Amino acid sequence: MIKAAVCDDEKIFTKKFVLMIKEFFDTHNIQINVSVFDSGTDFILNRAKYDIVFLDINIPDVGGFEIAKQITDRDRKTLIIFVTEHDELVYSSLKFRPFRFIRKRRLQEELADVLRDVISEISKQSNKQKLIYLSNEHDMPIEIKDIEYVEVIGHRIHAHLKGDNVVSFYGSLSNTAARLMKYGFIRIHKSYIINAEQIAFSKKNCVCLKSGAEVPISRNKIREFKIQYEKIRSADL
């Protein structure tokens, strides 16, 4: 599911704009959720993260450039698309590194090309989320989203994937954890790292995953686990 936001105070334009966006993604069989904000203040106070933000440069109260700065400070992966009636403002906006521009008076001609570029870019970002591990045999690309948990036995790492698949290789759990933590993984035991997205619920001595697997949690890791898990959940809202 792609998460998008439209920040524009022109309600008639916004209604038409959102409809066109949804129709485009529907024809490409891609799910998209579009949130609408008619003031910059409301958008900033919302604090949710989005894959795409369609931002009116001239939105009143806060202003499009200030909103763009706050978006990039929050998450540089968000694609900012400036929507404007004023061509002369395009040059001023370049320092905020927008992904694309759409001119309101040329919406019909420009929107489809921009959305095709959006789909391509999001696909590229998704494909980058792989880990390449060097084993004795060959390099093994593993999709991060497919990893449920990782365990170490002796000097061998075992990555447990969806579908009961396991990929094993020699390595250090500490090094593996360092690579995984930025993707929402949590170390809950000296021998285990789990993918927060795969958590169903936790019990006193273990974390239960959506697949039904139960991964032990160290007593001294329980508090840290709860803090990290709440941070990850809050970031995804």
How many CA atoms, within 13 angstroms, populate the side-chain half-sphere of residue 225?
25
Prediction pTM value: 0.56
> For strand 156-161 and strand 147-153, is the pairing parallel, antiparallel, or unpaired?
antiparallel
Q: Which residues contact 211 (CB under 8 A, 6 or more apart)?
A: 148, 162, 198
Can you give the pLDDT at residue 5? 95
Centre a 10 Å sphere on the Cβ of residue 223 and count the other Cβ atoms it contains.
9
Q: Which tokens sit at 227?
A: 């803090």
Can you give the pLDDT at residue 59? 83
List residues bridging with 162 in a β-sheet: none
Can you give the pLDDT at residue 121? 87
Can you give the pLDDT at residue 1? 82
H/E element, 237: none
Q: What is the Cα 191 distance to its own chain's centre?
A: 27
Q: What is the Cα 193 distance to its own chain's centre?
A: 20
Q: Which residues contact 179 (CB under 8 A, 6 or more apart)?
A: 131
Can you give the pLDDT at residue 72? 79
| DSSP designation for 22 | H
Cβ atoms of 163 and 178 closer than 8 Å: no
The segments of the chain whose pLDDT lies below 70 read: 86-96, 126-140, 234-237
Can you give the pLDDT at residue 22? 96
d(CA 199, CA 86): 47
Domains and CATH numbers, the chain: 2-128 (3.40.50.2300), 131-236 (2.40.50.1020)
d(CA 164, CA 75): 33
Smallest CA-to-CA distance from 58 within 34, 79, 36, 89 is with 89
Rounded to 5°, the CA angle 27-125-51 comes to 60
Q: For the segment 87-96, what is each residue's pLDDT rounded down to a tens digit?
A: 655 555 566 6
